Amino acid sequence: MFYAPWCGHCKKLKPEFEKAASILQTNDPPVTLAKVDCTEAGKDTCNKFSVTGYPTLKIFRNGGIVKYMKSQVGPSAKLLKSKDEFEKFLNEPDVSVVGFFKSASPLKDAYQKVADSLREKFRFSITEEQDILSQNSIENGVKLFRPKHLHNKFEPSSLEYSGDANKDSLEKWLKKNIHGLVDHRQRDNMEDFKNPLVVAYYNVDYSKNPKGTNYWRNRILKVAQNFASDFTFAVSAKDDFQHELNEFGYDYVPSEKPIVFARSADNKKFAMSEEFSVENFESFLTKLKAGELEPYLKSEPIPENNDKPVTIAVAKNFEDVVTKNGKDTLIEFYAPWCGHCKKLAPVWDELGEKMADEDIAVVKMDATSNDVPSPYEVRGFPTLYWAPKDSKSSPVTYSGGRDLDDFVKYIAQHATNELKGYDRKGNAKPKSGKEEL
């Protein structure tokens, strides 16, 4: 971990990194975690390894963090030499993939290539021991075993591959089946779960409360099995995904029962408003599939008075004040707590006044209290976009200076029509003689 002592993200990562280090000390083979202060004696080391931001994590071979690091050491497919090693491999709390090969074969070659390319997502092993082959009634094949804490009566606990003996087919099969019907969605695997997605959020904790966790998961499974071809399903710990709860207007989960949120294929949001029950969940999915539900839109109220030089956008009026306003638009997405945003505020107000008589809209939107519509993307604050009036579908990120003069020059140069008060270089046009008098 390459870090700087003043870096806020580094301070947040430090306790997790140290916790991971203590766990990985006992891993087989062992994994060492190290940290380098790029502001002190480690400057040369950081330059050597092209560190340009903090924190930067780099993997050094032969030398979620725990899961990822475990996948990076040793062979991509662990050799199992006995039944005990086989059972031990299956007892890990992650999906296990085992290649059973009595002799050389095209499938064995494909399996090894897949293990090399997917070692970060799956735990692979390989065996030629006759006792293990006989126990599993297989001599040349591949099986995927679900972790034991996720076994349930609604889907098989293991699957055997029956496709072609080539890398692409096997890899596609594994990716399709890795998560099963309703998997445990966590921060380190959340990118695997694609829309249309239905997630139940509650106190998911397989370490301290596996029985309670599966109590609710089994009820979700019971309904999900009838919609498996329509949606991807998952359960997630509410505390790990508070930011997603916030996106649906929840500061906390008021009940021990799950709350259910969904996203359609085009990323529209839907919330199950009724208290969770098998019947209510099934009704929600039926209506969602039929397109009978209104999407959820997180929005502040539309301002009653919005005639100031800087227009206020909220999710509910965004189309009117930005997309269809008929003007070139410079929009700021901000957060109320953001220091840089507070510093920009008086400049933004002054810019609005400068552009008041122009065919230009200066707009601001609280991106923490409103859904930001596509194609705009906000990953930090403030985020600024320029949206020409004739191509609002393709806004451009503004990355120039943040002084008033910088904004004026940018607008003057990029405006669809030349400004009344400024030439294309941003120089103020001389006023008429009548105005001078």
Q: Report the distance separating Cα 406 and Cα 91, nearest Å.
A: 61
Q: Report the distance separating Cα 260 and Cα 189, nearest Å.
A: 19
Helix-helix angle 404-414:339-354, to 10 degrees: 50
- What does the angle CA 23 – CA 28 – CA 29 come to, to the nearest 5 degrees? 110
Say if CB 307 and CB 346 are below 8 A apart. no
Is position 10 annotated as part of the catalytic site? yes
Q: Report the distance separating Cα 279 and Cα 223, nearest Å.
A: 9
Say if CB 68 and CB 22 are below 8 A apart. no
Q: Which of 4, 10, 313, 314 is catalytic?
A: 10
Q: Report the distance separating Cα 330 and Cα 335, nearest Å.
A: 17
Q: Which of 23, 133, 338, 345 is catalytic?
A: 338
Is position 38 annotated as part of the catalytic site? no
- What does the angle CA 231 – CA 233 – CA 235 come to, to the nearest 5 degrees? 160
Is position 46 annotated as part of the catalytic site? no
SS3 for 159? Answer: strand
**Angstrom distances, CA of residue 317 to CA of 188, 304, 321:** 36, 11, 6
User: Considering Cα of 306, then 312, then 315, then 317, what sign does the dihedral take?
Assistant: positive
Q: Which of 341, 361, 363, 384 is catalytic?
A: 341
The radius of gyration of the chain from alpha carbons, rounded to an integer in Å, stands at 28
Q: Which residues contact 18 (CB under 8 A, 6 or more apart)?
A: none
DSSP state of 192: G
Q: Which of 7, 24, 228, 347 is catalytic?
A: 7
Q: Report the distance separating Cα 149 and Cα 215, nearest Å.
A: 12
- Write out the catalytic residue numbers: 7, 10, 338, 341
